[in-house]
Amino acid sequence: MGSKEFVSCANQGSGIYNFILQKKLAKNHSEILPSIVKSIFKMDYKSFKVFFLINLIVIILPSGLYAQDTTQYIISGRQNAPFQEQKPYVILISADGFRYDLAEKYDATFLKRISSEGVKAISMKPCYPSLTFPNHYSIVTGLYPSHHGIVDNTLYDKSRKQIYQIGNKKTVEDPSWYGGVPLWVLAERQKLLSASFYWVGSESHIDGVDPTYYFKYNEAIPIDRRIEIVKEWLQLPPEKRPHFITFYFPEVDHAEHMYGTKSPHTAEAVHFVDHSVEKMYDMCQQLNLPVNFIFVSDHGMTNMDTLHTIGLPSVIDTTKFVITNGTATAHLYAKNKNDVKPTYRKLKAVAKDYDVYLVKKIPRRWHYRTKDDRFHRIGDILLVPHLPKGFSFSGRKISYGAHGFDNSLPELQATFYAWGPAFKDHFEIGNFANINIYPLIAHILGLTIDNKIDGKLKVLRNTLK
């Protein structure tokens, strides 16, 4: 079989897989088998052989037969200092991609009610770029991405000559990539125990300090079991009980990427998060503990033009640059500084549907310029597409929903709700930057911030009783 024939057959196999994946996420299994049967009967023998091999890989492996690490890691020998045992509790919940308007748009009844009874922000401003890893880490460090080092979901470090990728477990778990002091590190240093049911950096041993209780990211633990584990943490003896807990939901972001923000699948994901947070709240109500909830998202989401993408500009000599890109950003790291300005001028001359910036001229409001870049990880040239178009340097189809664009755009704004004994009742606030959550949580827990941060307590101080 020639290479063209193989690609054609492989496309048939992967097409069937994509159909199955969509139906799996949609929980509509009744259509799967008839469609598979029809597709298989249309294949010739060669196609069937390749289909069989492809689907051994792309169907069986993602179905969960490969091992996911569901171990609860517990750091032995730790306990709360006696004076910390009377401190309140904070559960920081992130629903990835939960845009500021989704609770109203899809009638998330619990979140609508509880946010109206507590503190509700009209919206919350993510950091630029409005991506998952930079913003989750900004929330727990109080730093802009340029100050904590995770400046994109994929980035290049010239001094290390290495690429950090969120899909690469080796780099994700390497503490040397991360600056700042995450809240769990701050708490543990001051003898206040913490726990994490996923968060960017929580499995990375930053400064040699892990949360006392944590899980490596996986999607194999059912939500009811996850909530039950949080309950078990809060029922531990006072000296072993965590006072700061992080909890992460990926479902809304997954649905928006695959189907867009206006899909019934996104609505279903919003309801899943809503019901799950309600279960967790009801569980905590039974424990008679002073538990405070902060519900956030890392960014919003916008719908994309999936038919008209922006390819790699032909004027870029790829032998002279290391290039990292996603749908919303493209970084060009020059191997020789002398190639920066000539390439910049060429790009400016041909740029259509995207902006071109030298790193020292990136908009000041993004806190993303040369003078901000403490770890020197922002590209010498930054390309930013004009919505609704996005980059696809590989030629692959981009997702229906995306983020990472200008953090001032309305559709990229995130969510902030807070309730519990520390917070005012029926209190609404305006838009604010997510870096200000860090000093708020530290204040509630009585932690001393002895490291430099960008967030200010005064921004959210008025939300507290």
Q: For the residues of 356-400, what is the DSSP string, one character each?
A: EEEGGGS-GGGS-SGGG-TT--S-SEEEEEPTT--B-TT-PPPPS
In whole angstroms, what is the distance from residue 259 CA to residue 333 CA? 33
Length of the chain measured in residues: 465
Average pLDDT of the residues in 43-72: 57
Q: Which of 132, 171, 266, 327 is catalytic?
A: 132
- The 10s digit of each residue's pLDDT in 81-103 is 999 999 999 999 999 999 999 99
Percent of the chain, pLDDT > 90? Answer: 86
In whole angstroms, what is the distance from residue 87 CA to residue 90 CA? 10
The HSE-up count of residue 13 (CA atoms within 13 Å, CB side) is 22
User: Which residue, 332, 297, 285, 240, is CA-closest to 412?
Assistant: 297
Average pLDDT of the residues in 166-173: 96
> Is the bond into 388 cis (omega within 30 degrees of 0)?
yes
Average pLDDT of the residues in 208-218: 97
Residue 270 has pLDDT above 80, yes or no: yes
Q: Where in the chain is the domain with CATH 3.30.1360.180?
A: 145-167+305-398
- The 10s digit of each residue's pLDDT in 380-431 is 999 999 999 999 999 999 999 999 999 999 999 999 999 999 999 999 999 9
33 pLDDT tier (thresholds 50, 70, 90)? very low
pLDDT at res. 195? 98
In whole angstroms, what is the distance from residue 230 CA to residue 210 CA? 17
Look up tokens 């009967």; give the residue: 41
- C-alpha 359: how far from its chain's center? 24
Q: 261 an active-site residue? A: no
- The 10s digit of each residue's pLDDT in 331-366 is 999 999 999 999 999 999 999 999 999 999 999 999
Residue 218 has pLDDT above 60, yes or no: yes
pLDDT at res. 66? 54
pLDDT at res. 333? 98
Q: Provide the mean pLDDT of the chain.
A: 90
DSSP annotation of 353:
S
Average pLDDT of the residues in 136-143: 98
CATH number for the domain whose boundaries are 77-143+184-303+419-463: 3.40.720.10
10 pLDDT tier (thresholds 50, 70, 90)? very low
Average pLDDT of the residues in 39-52: 51
In whole angstroms, what is the distance from residue 216 CA to residue 219 CA? 10
The DSSP element (H or E) to which 104 belongs, if any, is helix 102-105
Average pLDDT of the residues in 17-24: 40
Compute the C-alpha angle 218/224/228, nearest 5°: 95
Backbone angles phi, psi at 263, to 5 degrees: -90, 150
Helix (H, G, I), strand (E, B) or coil at 291: strand
pLDDT at res. 183? 98
Assign domain 145-167+305-398 to a CATH class: alpha beta
Q: Which two tokens mark 230? A: 């949080």
Average pLDDT of the residues in 195-216: 98
User: Of the given ranges (19-28, 379-388, 446-455), which has the lowest mean pLDDT?
Assistant: 19-28
Residue 305 has pLDDT above 90, yes or no: yes
pLDDT at res. 23? 42
Q: Which two tokens mark 416? A: 């902030």
Average pLDDT of the residues in 118-124: 98
Return all residues near 52 (Cβ < 8 A) that are at least 6 apart: none
Backbone angles phi, psi at 259, to 5 degrees: -120, -10
Q: Where in the chain is the domain with CATH 3.40.720.10?
A: 77-143+184-303+419-463
Residue 299 has pLDDT above 50, yes or no: yes
- C-alpha 132: how far from its chain's center? 3
Residue type at 284 in one-letter notation: C
Residue 58 has pLDDT above 70, yes or no: no
DSSP annotation of 61:
I
Percent of the chain, pLDDT > 70? Answer: 86
In whole angstroms, what is the distance from residue 446 CA to residue 192 CA? 10
